[in-house]
A and B are shown apart, each in its own frame.
Chain A
Amino acid sequence: MRKVDARAKVSRRVFLQGSAAAMPAVAAGVSIDAASAWAQDAKNLSPNTMATLARMARDIYPHDRLADVYYVKAVAGYDDKAGQDVAFRKLVETGVAQLDASAQQRHKCPYLLVAWETDRVALLQGVEQGALFKKLHGDLLVTLYNNKEVWPKFGYEGSSADKGGYISRGFNDIDWLPQV
C-alpha cells in the first residue's frame, strides 16, 4: 500500500516566510535551550520563559518523532501575544515562575534543567489546574497538531481534493487484512 513519506522537507518558502504558526525566524535544527538564538530573540518574554514554554509543550505532548523545532514553533506566538496583552504576559510569567519554584524545591534547579521527563511530568501534574497549563494545553492542540509540517510525520496527508481525491491514490489499498 502507498505509505506517506515522513522525511522533513524544507522548502524555500519556509526559509523565507517561516511557518504558518507565525514564528519569523525559526529554522530547522533549533533546540529547546534558553541560550539559543530563537529564545534570545524574544522581545517580550525572557529567554528562560520561552525555552520553558517549549519544554512544557514537549512534555505535555511528547512525540519522539518530532524535532524540537515544532515545539518551539508551537509556542513562538506567545512572545507577540505577551507584547499586546499585559494580563496574558503576567499569566505566562507567573505560571513559569511557579513551575520553576517547585522545580527548585524538589530538584534544586529550574524546570528546564530537570533531567528526566518523568520528574518534569510530576511537576506539571502539580500545576495542571493552573491558568498557564490550561492555556498552553488547549492552544497546542492547534499550534502543534495543526502545523501542516508535522502531518506527514504522523502519516496524515492533509488536503486531498486538489490532488484528485484518493480514488486513484490508495483509498482501498490495504493489503494485510486476513481473508474472511
Chain B
Amino acid sequence: MIMDNMTIKNQEEIAPKIYRIEVTGPLTQQMKNPGQFVNLRVSKGIDPTLRRPISICDVDVEKETLTMIYRVEGKGTKLLAEKVVGDEVNILGPLGQGFPVEAAKPNDVCVLIGGGVGIPPLYYLGKQLVAAGAKVITILGFRTDKDIFLEEEFQELGELIITTEDGSKGVKGFVTDALKELKAYDLYYTCGPKPMLKAVEQTASTHGFISLEERMGCGVGACLACVCDLKERDKTTGKAYAKICSDGPVFLSGEVIL
C-alpha cells in the first residue's frame, strides 16, 4: 500500500502560520525512514490540482500516527489548515530517499541544522539518531522569537542552539553563525531553504546530508518537474541530473549543485 485516506486526530497552529497536524492510519507502518515525505491531497475537487509534498515530522508506528508541520503559504495549505479533527486526507507515501541514520556511528556527534519548515523532518531523524547511540546537537534558525517551534522537543534530544535574524532569542544571525562556533563534530544533516543549504555546505567542516525542496508534479519520479543538476554524472545511470522527489530529497553534501 502506498496511498490511503488517513483521519485527522489533531491540528493546531503552533507559531504564526505554522500548523502541526496529526493523522492516523495503517500507512504509518511503512514510515520508518526519516527525511521521507508524503504527497497529500488537500481537496477532493480540482482546485488546487496537484498534491502537496509535506515532510514527515514524527511517526508513532504503534499508535499509527503521523505528525506533519507545514506553513500556510498558498491556497493548498490554507485548505489543509481549515480541516478539522475527524476529516480525512488522502496521502500518497512515504516517498523519496530519506536521511541515512546508519551514516552515524555510536557516539558520533551529529549536527542537525534546520531553517523554517525545513526543521520538522530533522525531529524524526534526531530521535532515531539518539536511539542509535549518536550524540545530537541541533541548530534551528528562525526570523524572530515569535516564529520558534519544536523547541522543547529538540531540547530533549540534546544541546539546542537557536538563532534568530533579529536577535530576539539565542544567537543573532543565521544558522551558519552558530555552526562556525562548533568545535568538533562528525557529520551534519540539514534541511531548509536553498540559500541556507548552500551556506551550510560551505561552512561545515565535515560531510553531511542535505534535504532539498522544490515544486513537484507527480512526487514519484515520472514527470521531471523537480530535478536538480548533479556535480558529476551518476556512475550507474549516466544521468547528469537527479529527481528531488525520488532520488532525493536527501543528497550527500557535494552531490548536487545548490
Same assembly = no
A-side residues, CB < 8 A to B, are none
B-side residues, CB < 8 A to A, are none
